[in-house]
Amino acid sequence: MIEATVEQVRLAFTALRSMGAQKLPQKPAWRISRLLGKLKPIVAAFEETQLKFFEGLGGQSTDGGMMIPPLERNTGEEDEPWKARLEEHRVAMNNLNKELRELNKEVVEIDYNPLPLDMFGDADGTPEHRKMTFSANDLADLGPFITDE
């Protein structure tokens, strides 16, 4: 059983997808794909919740995801109502950020064993063009999902 925050799950999911995009021996490929399958519902639930938060603040779909358009002053709007709307918008954005930070801190349990680091070692005699290569960032982003034991 692995305990991780939603943020750690999201980071690991991205790292595993990057690692899984290259040609891997069967065992690492199989373990990565199984772990991705365990993490995907958590990542999808986070993204769905995030989308609802953004939509609640008038978010609009874009090619890159979702965007909350900047608040615009209405034609002829007096200073006091404009300032009140700006403050209301600022408070709503701060609350959104707080909610997302809290959601990222949620701890979840994943029924899977951490991936052993030595599983990613190349066999003796592996040709250079067939060797596995992973970035330090990908390995760091695996956090609780990888072990050197």
Q: Where are the beta strands (DSSP E) in the chain?
A: 2-5, 60-62, 65-67, 107-110, 115-116, 146-147
What is the average per-residue pLDDT within 126-135?
76
Q: What is the CA radius of gyration of the chain?
A: 21
Name the residue with higher pLDDT: 20 or 54. 54
Helix axis angle, 26-56 to 79-105, nearest 10°: 150
Q: What pLDDT score was predicted for residue 138?
A: 86
The mean pLDDT of 106-129, rounded to a whole number, is: 85
Share of the chain above pLDDT 70, in %: 99
Structure tokens belonging to residue 55: 């939509």
Query: Does residue 56 register a pLDDT over 80?
Result: yes
Question: What backbone torsions phi and psi does residue 116 show, to the nearest 5 degrees?
Answer: -75, 135
How confident is residue 121, by pLDDT bands cut at 50, 70 and 90?
Answer: confident
Structural domain total, the chain: 1
Domain enclosing residue 143, as ranges: 2-69+77-147
